[in-house]
Amino acid sequence: MCHWRRVRNYYKRCRHYLDLPDEMIQCDDRHCKFSDRHPPDCRGPRCIQTCWQYRQFPQQYEPVIDGYCSTCIIMGHVN
Ligand SMILES: [Zn+2]
Ligand SMILES: [Zn+2]
Ligand SMILES: [Zn+2]
């Protein structure tokens, strides 16, 4: 089932967080309305009964990056 992926980088050196744009993760489940594998003729009440109609709750990732964020690099706070 398709879901959004939300990534928030944590930069260890400057202790800043950076939210990345949400990313759509496609599944290949034919019983998912948003999937590429979902048959185009599956519509209406039948689709509602057999297929996922909603995307899953976003999965949150918080990778820790051993470095400085791009703002700090641009501002020259990095040595
Ligand atoms: Zn899906
Ligand atoms: Zn369907
Ligand atoms: Zn920073």
Distances 78 to 5, 14, 17 between C-alpha atoms, Å = 30, 9, 16
Burial 2-19, CB ≥16 within 10 A → b, else e: bbeebbebebeeeeeeee
Ligand 2 (ion): which residues have CB within 5 A? Answer: 42, 47, 51
CA–CA distance, 38 with 47 (Å, rounded to integer): 10
Range of the domain at 60: 3-75
CA of 79 to the centre of ligand 3 (A): 13
What confidence score (pLDDT) does residue 55 get?
87
pLDDT recorded at residue 64: 98
Distance 45 CA to ligand 2 centre (A): 9
Provide the pLDDT for residue 52.
Answer: 93
Q: Which residues of the chain have pLDDT under 70?
A: 79
Number of domains in the chain: 1
Q: What is the structure's pLDDT at 56?
A: 82
Confirm if 12 and 65 have CB atoms less than 8 A apart. Answer: yes
How far CA 41 is from CA of 21, 34, 47, in Å, comes to 32, 13, 9
